[in-house]
Amino acid sequence: MKKLFAILWLLLFSFIIQAQDIEVYPTHWWVGMKWSTVQLMIRGKNIAESVPMVKMRPEGMALAPGVRLKQIDHAENKNYVFFDIEIDATAKPGWITLPFVGKKGVKYELKPRREGNGTLYAMGVTSEDLIYLIMPDRFSNGDESNDRIPGMLDQSLRRDTVFNRHGGDLKGIQNHLDYLYDLGVTTLWLNPVIENDMPERTEHGYAFTNHYRIERRIGGEKAYKELINALHAKGMKIIQDAVYNHVGTEHFLFKDQPDSSWFHRWPKFTQTSYKDQVLFDPYASQVDKKLMSDGWFVTSMPDWNHDNEMVQKFLIQHAIWTVEEFGVDGWRVDTYAYNDLHFMNRCNQALYDEFPNLTIFGETWVHGVINQSYFCANNFAIDFKSNLQATTDFQTLFYGIQPALTEPFGWTEGVNKLYTTLAQDFVYKNPMRQVIFLDNHDLPRFYSVLNEDTAKYKAAFAWLLTTRGIPQMYYGSEVLMTGTTHPNDGYVRQDFPGGWQGDPANKFTEAGRTKKENDVFHYIRKLANFRKSSSAIKTGKLMQYVPYEGIYVYFRYDDHQTVMCVMNTNDQPKILSLDRFSERLQFFTKARDVVTDQIVSLTDPLQIPRYTTLVMELQ
């Protein structure tokens, strides 16, 4: 009787194992990848009970021609088992069976690689591009059926408050690609698109809850693929927003942790110090370094432990998987300075190895060119060398264009700060990769920073679209959207007018914009489209001249074209003698004003209106 009972129990247990939900991450992989030893996380209720502690031979267990199971690791939590599989160059696409899991094992797919690595996808984003940053929830609602998803924790849908979801989605973005292309945009950067199933403030997307799901309230995987395919069909590109530092408290790996070493732990909630200096300070204490890197951002965002090799593999594999699965062209890394930098080098290199043309830039909200350059490829002879290509260039914003247009001119003030900041570009391996901007989802809108002075605003955009680096503009900037981060950053994340049915004005159309909005829109559009065909601006050199009396002059030039830019930061017109610029003017006698198409003589002094940046193609 006891023997019969034991047999029945084993049969019942096997049925339960087969019937239960089993998740495998990554959900699939590809043959022909350089990352050929893949850590598979297998998750299910008490899944470890069905997987024996098998000691593999050195050659591993053959699963298919060219595919071998090399290692099985059990976690403290019996809901997890980890299989390491090795996929060599002879492996073919198809299905393999992961043994021991349940009665018949688990089927796992190896796919053929996507065609066009570096030419049709993973193309990289360069100084030839213009990036347009969009928060999907706040741009346009193209599919009202996904505004609320049953079972998700945040069921809010209120456009009359900045705190809740508004319903914008990927289809809404796709519906306006013609508008963006006409504006001169070449690349979209979207705030995170990965699932963010948190109970509140979920519109920004920076608290992931499942890395292998695209947020269903913006359309899910199908809509993301359709958007990227539509972008590529128009010759445009996509940047994905990556977060390696933290997740949301509702992430399944935090709620159901494989063991206690996957996240940084403190006796009580401990926030990061935000003091990036300690990472390169030769006199810094270890306690300050630990607080900076291991402290949490906020209570709802647990901090990954990058010392854990399984965590490293999980994050690196997800990055590779994402680029290959969706055809991403660029990778923006959130809160870069707060990650373990040695881990970030390893992660970046894995992406470079797999996708040689892919570009990666990191958010480095720090203060000082030295601080910023530490986190990307630089020319310092120091122990730690970052392989990050570039950063979001907060220095040319905070210590450059912003004081140039908000401070009186002085020996070290006003536009002299812009000149001085750019003069320090010698620290970067390639300053042309730096991503320059006027505002983003965390900052006051630049039109509000300038107290809605349209002349200053145009001058700022002329600089953004002509100086060195990769320009990034924030959605709605072209139609004079306003907002500050006080009392809440939601006020810089307002809806694009016209993105929802029933909006009283549609700023996507000429007729829906005011005269002032159209004036600025066409100004930006003219410069952005000129930039598309300007070799000097896209890839040429920069020569700048020391500012005098509030006037800053710089040239962009190559063997085929010279563009002269003159920024007057004074509240009154100025007359500029050109004798000082003969080194670049050489034999040029006239120029075409790029915005007005008027011909300007270079034999006479220039007259520059107040708060104006002239952009002139020399002839």
- Concatenate the DSSP letters of all residues of 319-386 into one string: HHHHHHHHT--EEEETTGGGS-HHHHHHHHHHHHHH-TT-EEEE----SSHHHHHHTSSB----S---
Q: Of the ranges 9-18, 127-136, 178-187, 383-392, which one carries the lowest mean pLDDT score?
A: 9-18
Q: pTM (2 decimals)?
A: 0.96
The predicted structure's pLDDT at residue 56: 84
pLDDT above 50 (res 16): no
Contact 386, 345 (CB under 8 A): yes
The predicted structure's pLDDT at residue 20: 56
pLDDT above 50 (res 114): yes
Phi-psi region of 517 (alpha: psi -120 to 50; beta: other; left: phi over 0): alpha
Domain coordinates of the chain in residue numbers? 2-111, 131-505, 537-618
pLDDT in tens, 220-246: 999 999 999 999 999 999 999 999 999
Given the residues 195, 325, 334, 340, select the one marked as catalytic. 334
- Intra-chain end-to-end CA distance of the chain, in Å: 100
* Mean pLDDT calculated for residue range 356-364: 98
The predicted structure's pLDDT at residue 215: 98
**Topology of domain 2-111, per CATH?**
Immunoglobulin-like (2.60.40)
Structure tokens at 441: 């989802």
CA angle (62 as vertex; 58, 63 as ends), nearest 5: 140
Indicate the average pLDDT of the chain. 95
What residues contact 214, with CB distance under 8 A and at least 6 apart? 193, 194, 195, 220, 221, 223, 224
Please indicate whether residue 334 is annotated as part of the active site: yes
Given the residues 363, 425, 439, 517, select the one marked as catalytic. 363
Please indicate whether residue 363 is annotated as part of the active site: yes
Residue with tokens 């050109």: 578
pLDDT in tens, 200-220: 889 999 999 999 999 999 999
The 3-state DSSP class for residue 95 equals: strand
The predicted structure's pLDDT at residue 589: 96
* Mean pLDDT calculated for residue range 506-524: 98
Phi-psi region of 549 (alpha: psi -120 to 50; beta: other; left: phi over 0): left
Whether the domain at 2-111 and the domain at 537-618 fall into the same CATH topology = yes
**Topology of domain 537-618, per CATH?**
Immunoglobulin-like (2.60.40)
Contact 374, 278 (CB under 8 A): no
Looking at the structure, give the CATH architecture of the domain made up of residues 131-505.
Alpha-Beta Barrel (3.20)
pLDDT above 80 (res 72): yes
Q: Which helix (H) or strand (E) holds 233?
A: helix 220-233
Structure tokens at 211: 């890395």
Angle between helices 515-532 and 454-464 (to 10 degrees): 10
Classify strands 67-74 and 80-87 as parallel, antiparallel or unpaired: antiparallel
The predicted structure's pLDDT at residue 7: 38
Half-sphere exposure of 498 (CA within 13 A, CB side): 17
